[in-house]
Amino acid sequence: MPFELQKEKIQEVQFLNLGLVDYQEAWDFQTLRHKELVARKLRNRELTKAGAATEKQEHFLIFCEHPPVYTLGKTGSLDHLLLDEEGLTEKGFTFYKINRGGDITYHGPGQIVGYPIFDLDCFFTDVHKYVRYLEEAVMLTLKEYGIESYREKGYTGVWLPATANAPKRKICAIGVHLSRWVTLHGFAFNVNTMLGHFENIIPCGIQDDDKGVTSMAKELGKTMNMQEVQDKLKQHFADLFNYTYKASANN
């Protein structure tokens, strides 16, 4: 591994699979979890000052899929959305401006959208390392299927190298937001994603002719077992961040 991992599994993470869920509903859900973690952190600081026992912090890894939706990060350009309001309605897409970093991206069925809600004070306080771990979890999952991937200098996310028949291709987009070292938003990993939906945007604001988007299904020429890919990805998260999963019906 290119990263120094945690030496002890001292954190528990609750895994939740929300299935196919409206973007606004998922956003509200993760925002509530985020607020709870921040509030617990602040309470624990006061409890520590008072010499009292602290509460155990709760962390979440949320997987879901969304109906077709475009989201624009706070540093993105609306010009990168190639549909007007009428076009969005006609094609059945929704659109949201949100508070993550990055530009515009697409979410839809066949994509693993991941929202880690972690208090990084319990792991490490390094946002760059955090993003690299998100990338690494996806890269390790791809490796299990024989797909070579890499990090493109100057960009976040996971890429596949150019071949004689295809340019460099992004297979996973990442956009995060942190408040008091508690994470929000996350990644979008193209597994069986309908890639034609990316044609309505300039993905991540990248207009280079030598860069495109792809999915596992396109690369391997077959529809992937989503549950199997999710299980592998979920385990790589636990291994990288060196935590255990809290027992629940969703595990």
What angle is formed at CA 133 by the lines to CA 129 and CA 134, rounded to 5 degrees? 120
Q: Active site includes 204? A: yes
For tokens 């540093």, name the residue: 75
Using N-to-C axis directions, what is the helix angle for 127-144 and 226-241, rounded to 10°?
Answer: 140
Whether 177 and 101 have beta carbons less than 8 Å apart is answered as: yes
Q: What count of other Cβ atoms lies within 10 Å of the Cβ of residue 162?
A: 13
Residue 47 Cα to chain centre, angstroms: 33
- For residue 155, what is the DSSP state? -
Q: What count of other Cβ atoms lies within 10 Å of the Cβ of residue 209?
A: 6
Whether 102 and 77 have beta carbons less than 8 Å apart is answered as: no
For tokens 């606004």, name the residue: 24
Burial bucket for residue 67 (CB in 10 Å: 0-12, 13-18, 19+):
middle
* Parallel, antiparallel or unpaired: strands 111-117 and 158-160: unpaired
Q: Which residues are catalytic?
A: 204
